[in-house]
């Protein structure tokens, strides 16, 4: 990952959390402390809402607009997410039942689903539910629960309970960070319980994540890579990760 990509990921990480320590940034991006400090200086110079503090950095959102968080994620790596969505569409069959995880990658997938016939889609994201509601040929169901402000994802115990009653043909999952040895990780605890439940909804689990998510680590583990039936990423993914995934016996498609 070059400096421009690192700083984009760092910016997203900080703004989604509100603040981050140097240590957390180093772990998330798998970089040295010296590199993290240099990147933070560059980021603070280009983004007036990012403020350096002792031992870390904070985001001062003076606009009070929580939707800004979602819009930021929506436009980061936009073309990569669209490419992934097209590949995901190719493996979805007419008349299937699918579950879509929360997040902007899954939103781009949702935008393509009207090209299929008679789909039944379970979703855990208000924005995704809104998108699916536009199409008469899609039967969509929204899992109930608490909505995370500024991100529109649904979580907590009620959502987990509902997911325990559901089985689908395919479950398409997103990720915040992916490491071949440590597995798939999330940096917010809010979705962790729901994601664990999603793993139980189908025997056909598909991980959809662009190449910038690989080689990173985060605090909360979701699952080992071996749990997934298929991984869909982007063609920029480093060959070392591709080979490591193949050695684990997991099919991988590159958009």
Q: What is the arithmetic mean of pLDDT over 174-197?
A: 91
Comparing 4-13, 125-134, 169-178, 243-252, the range with the smallest average pLDDT is 4-13
- Cβ atoms < 10 Å from Cβ of 94: 10
Burial string for 148-163 (b: 16+ CB within 10 Å, else e) reads bebbbbbbbeebbebb
Instruction: Looking at the structure, tell me whether residues 21 and 119 fall in a common domain.
Output: no
Where among 62, 81, 111 does a domain terminate?
62
List, for residues 206-229, the tens digit of each pLDDT value. 999 999 889 888 878 999 999 999
List, for residues 139-159, the tens digit of each pLDDT value. 999 999 999 887 888 999 999
Instruction: Looking at the structure, tell me whether residues 33 and 123 fall in a common domain.
Output: no
Q: What is the arithmetic mean of pLDDT over 75-89?
A: 88
Instruction: Looking at the structure, tell me whether residues 217 and 102 fall in a common domain.
Output: yes
List, for residues 40-72, the tens digit of each pLDDT value. 999 989 888 888 888 888 877 655 444 446 666
Q: Which domain holds residue 81?
A: 72-254
pTM for this one? Answer: 0.76
**For residue 87, with 0-12 CB atoms within 10 Å meaning exposed, 13-18 middle and 19 or more buried, which class applies?**
middle
- pLDDT bin (cut points 50, 70, 90) of residue 182 is very high
Q: How far apart are CA 154 and CA 134, in angstroms?
A: 20
Instruction: Looking at the structure, tell me whether residues 83 and 46 fall in a common domain.
Output: no
Q: How far apart are CA 242 and CA 100, in angstroms?
A: 24
Q: What is the arithmetic mean of pLDDT over 131-141?
A: 94
Provide the CATH number for the domain around residue 126: 3.40.50.1360
Residue 67 lies in a domain: no
CA angle 205, 231, 164 (to 5 degrees): 15
Residue 232 lies in a domain: yes
Provide the CATH number for the domain around residue 13: 1.10.10.10
Report the pLDDT value the prediction gives residue 76, as an integer from 0 to 100. Answer: 64
Number of domains in the chain: 2
């Amino acid at each position: 990952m070059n400096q421009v990509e690192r700083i984009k990921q760092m910016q997203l990480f900080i703004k989604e959390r509100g603040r981050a320590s140097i240590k957390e940034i180093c772990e998330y991006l798998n970089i040295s402390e010296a590199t993290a400090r240099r990147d933070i200086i560059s980021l603070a110079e280009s983004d007036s809402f990012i403020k350096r503090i002792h031992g870390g950095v904070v985001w001062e959102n003076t606009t009070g607009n929580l939707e800004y968080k979602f819009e930021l994620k929506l436009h980061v790596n936009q073309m990569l997410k669209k490419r992934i969505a097209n590949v995901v569409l190719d493996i979805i069959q007419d008349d299937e039942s699918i579950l879509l995880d929360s997040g902007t990658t899954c939103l781009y997938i949702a935008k393509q689903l009207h090209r299929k016939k008679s789909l039944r889609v379970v979703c855990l994201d208000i924005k995704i539910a809104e998108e699916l509601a536009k199409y008469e040929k899609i039967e969509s169901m929204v899992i109930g629960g608490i909505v995370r402000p500024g991100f529109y994802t649904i979580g907590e115990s009620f959502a987990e309970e509902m997911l325990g009653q559901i089985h689908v043909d395919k479950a398409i999952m997103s990720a915040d960070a992916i490491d071949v040895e440590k597995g798939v990780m999330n940096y917010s605890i809010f979705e962790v319980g729901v994601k664990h439940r999603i793993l139980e909804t189908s025997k056909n689990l598909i991980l959809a994540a662009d190449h910038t998510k690989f080689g990173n680590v985060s605090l909360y583990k979701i699952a080992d890579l071996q749990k997934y039936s298929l991984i869909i990423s982007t063609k920029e993914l480093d060959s070392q990760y591709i080979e490591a995934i193949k050695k684990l016996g997991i099919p991988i498609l590159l958009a």
